[in-house]
Every structure is written in structure tokens, then in C-alpha cells.
């Protein structure tokens, strides 16, 4: 039986309106999938995101369909790549509860690395990222820093060396960390296959994440420590990311495969998997058939 979480009153210090989005150098839509992982001063963009739960056994056919209409992300090619993230939150899990309650404005702070975590050093490029949701639109802002500086910023809470265009964003990160007393709470990792839209579908991005794991300690991105599966291994999360619209061929594809839109957060999955909070009605159950049935409703 799933535990339904009670509504929690929003704290008085929660912002009534979202802060303005800090903008950086423009990123062409057809390069968005690549440039988001390329080092630069600041990346900022808005988009719509829709998630689906997919049986792993169905992925081969879906990948074939994507490959005929989209380009594979050049950073992963046909093999894909790893994604590792450390999430920051308050002692009472404010960001977690904002997600569970579905607040129209919510946000989270994380450090993210793309690639092989076993090769991470102090000089490895990682991303400090604020991801926020305003109504149905996702806004993401991020800067690339050497891992050493990213830890100094987020864990030691000091301003670090930066390019002039990064300062406003880094000050916002520090204000968020110090003002809310944020600290590492959960880590997630998974393998990702990514596809980029072409021609009329420029700006479209589809990702497939599987082998989704997490942990609640040892938050160094390169730590050789145990991770627990936080989504059943027979399930993957397919995410459609679009600037303005989703093409008809893709909506037809999801309908033919009986894919249902779900509310699922890898961060929340990790928090709940380790007992930091009771499992919400949105938690992906350990029984794949039940999870897909719940998604359909």
C-alpha cells in the first residue's frame, strides 16, 4: 500500500515569485545538447520536460526509432555516457518537499559530472547547476568549474576563481547555500543515451536513463563506494525535452507504445530509497508491473 503524503504548509521565507533568470551567452537550439556539457562562462535555457517510465526490454525498438529521426549525442555516441549528481538540500529537505507538493516554483542545487566517475580528479570539469521549475517550464543555469573549485564553492562556502560572466551566478549559489544552510543530501548516477532533434525538430532532445542508482553518504563524485538501485532495474526513465513543441511523430510513438506521463524525480527516489522521507505516491515501486500500472493512472 502506497503512503500518501500530507500537504505541508509552505514556509514563510519561500519566495512568492521566482527570481529573474540570469542569462549568459546565447546557445543555438541545434547545439543545445552539446554545448550544455562544453565548458563556458554560463549556460541558461528554458524548456518543457516530460517523463515516461519504460520497460528496459522495450528500449531497443525505441532507440531504433529515435535513430531514424534524430542524431545521437556526439558526446556519448552509440554507447551513451554516465551522469553523476550530488544534490544539496536543507536539514528538513525543503527542496524535496517542494517537488513532492508540486509547488509552481521550486528549485534545486546540484553538482554534476558527465562520463566515467573513476577518472574524476580535482581538475575534472564538473557543473554547478541551479535547476528550477516555474509552472510547466524548466529553467536551468549552470557553470563549468574544476571539481576542486566546485567543492570549495558548495562545501566550503567561499567565492572561487571565476570568469567575469560567472560572478552573478556564483554569488546566487553562495547566497542560496549560506541562506538556507544547504549541504549534500543524496547522490544519483545512471547511464544515459541521448538524441538530438534535426531539421524541423531542432531544439528537441530525448534522453533514456537506466541503471539508476543512488546513495546517501560519501558524496565525492569519484568515490569508490556502494550505490543502491533506486529505480527497478527493469525500468528506464525516458525524458522528452523541447523548447516549444513536441513533434507529432513522437507523440504517436509514445501512444503506440502505451507510454504514460509520470511524475518521478531521481533525487526524490534516492531520498526515499534510503529512508530519509516516507515513500510518496510518486515513488517508483520495486515491482515493475505495478509501477507501470500506477503510471497509467
Give the domain ranges of the chain: 29-295
What average pLDDT does range 279-295 have in this prediction?
72
Q: List the single range of 11-25, 74-88, 98-112 with lowest mean pLDDT.
A: 11-25
Q: Distance (Å, rounded) from C-alpha 199 to C-alpha 226?
A: 43
**pTM, rounded to two decimals:** 0.83
Split at pLDDT 50, 70, 90, the class of 275 is: very high
For residues 74-91, give the mean pLDDT.
92
User: With respect to CATH, is domain 29-295 assigned 3.40.50.1380?
Assistant: no
CA distances (Å), 68 to each of 19, 51, 71, 200, in order? 40, 21, 8, 14
Q: CA–CA separation, 46 vs 132, rounded Å?
A: 10
Listed range (22-31, 226-235, 281-290) with the worst mean pLDDT: 22-31
Proportion of the chain above pLDDT 70, given as a percent: 81
Distance, in Å, from the CA atom of 115 to the CA atom of 98, rounded to the nearest integer, reads 29
Burial profile 158-175: b = 16 or more Cβ within 10 angstroms, e = fewer: eebebeeebeebbeebbe
* Beta strand segments in the chain, E: 43-55, 70-72, 81-89, 105-114, 125-134, 137-146, 183-197, 205-215, 228-229, 235-242
pLDDT in tens, 130-146: 999 988 888 999 999 99
d(C-alpha 148, C-alpha 151), whole Å: 5
Task: Assign 289 a pLDDT band (cuts: 50, 70, 90).
Answer: low
**What does the alpha-carbon distance between residue 92 and residue 30 come to, in Å, rounded to a whole number?**
40
**C-alpha–C-alpha distance, residues 143 and 3, integer Å:** 38
Amino acid at each position: 500500500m502506497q503512503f500518501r503524503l500530507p500537504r505541508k504548509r509552505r514556509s514563510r521565507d519561500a519566495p512568492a515569485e521566482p527570481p529573474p533568470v540570469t542569462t549568459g551567452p546565447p546557445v543555438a537550439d541545434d547545439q543545445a545538447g552539446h554545448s550544455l556539457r562544453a565548458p563556458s562562462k554560463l549556460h541558461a535555457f528554458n524548456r518543457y520536460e516530460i517523463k515516461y517510465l519504460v520497460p528496459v526490454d522495450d528500449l531497443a525498438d525505441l532507440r531504433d526509432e529515435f535513430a531514424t529521426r534524430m542524431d545521437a549525442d556526439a558526446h556519448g555516441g552509440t554507447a551513451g555516457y554516465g551522469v553523476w549528481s550530488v544534490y544539496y538540500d536543507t536539514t528538513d529537505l525543503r527542496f524535496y518537499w517542494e517537488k513532492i507538493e508540486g509547488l509552481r516554483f521550486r528549485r534545486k542545487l546540484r553538482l554534476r559530472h558527465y562520463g566515467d566517475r573513476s577518472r574524476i580528479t580535482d581538475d575534472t570539469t564538473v557543473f554547478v547547476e541551479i535547476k528550477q521549475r516555474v509552472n510547466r517550464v524548466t529553467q536551468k543555469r549552470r557553470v563549468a568549474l574544476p571539481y576542486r573549485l566546485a567543492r570549495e564553492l558548495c562545501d566550503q562556502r567561499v567565492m572561487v576563481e571565476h570568469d567575469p560572466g560567472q560572478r552573478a551566478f556564483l554569488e546566487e549559489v553562495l547566497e542560496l547555500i549560506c541562506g538556507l544552510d544547504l549541504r549534500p543530501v543524496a547522490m544519483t548516477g545512471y547511464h544515459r543515451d541521448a538524441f538530438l532533434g534535426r531539421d524541423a525538430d531542432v531544439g528537441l532532445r530525448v534522453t533514456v536513463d537506466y541503471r539508476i542508482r543512488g546513495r546517501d553518504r560519501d558524496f565525492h563524485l569519484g568515490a569508490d563506494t556502494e550505490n543502491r538501485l533506486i529505480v527497478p532495474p527493469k525500468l528506464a526513465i525516458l525524458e522528452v525535452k523541447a523548447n516549444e513543441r513536441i513533434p507529432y511523430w513522437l507523440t504517436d510513438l509514445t501512444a503506440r507504445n502505451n507510454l504514460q506521463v509520470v511524475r518521478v524525480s531521481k533525487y526524490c527516489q534516492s531520498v526515499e530509497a534510503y529512508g530519509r522521507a516516507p515513500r510518496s505516491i510518486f515513488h517508483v515501486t520495486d515491482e515493475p508491473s505495478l509501477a507501470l500500472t500506477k503510471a497509467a493512472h
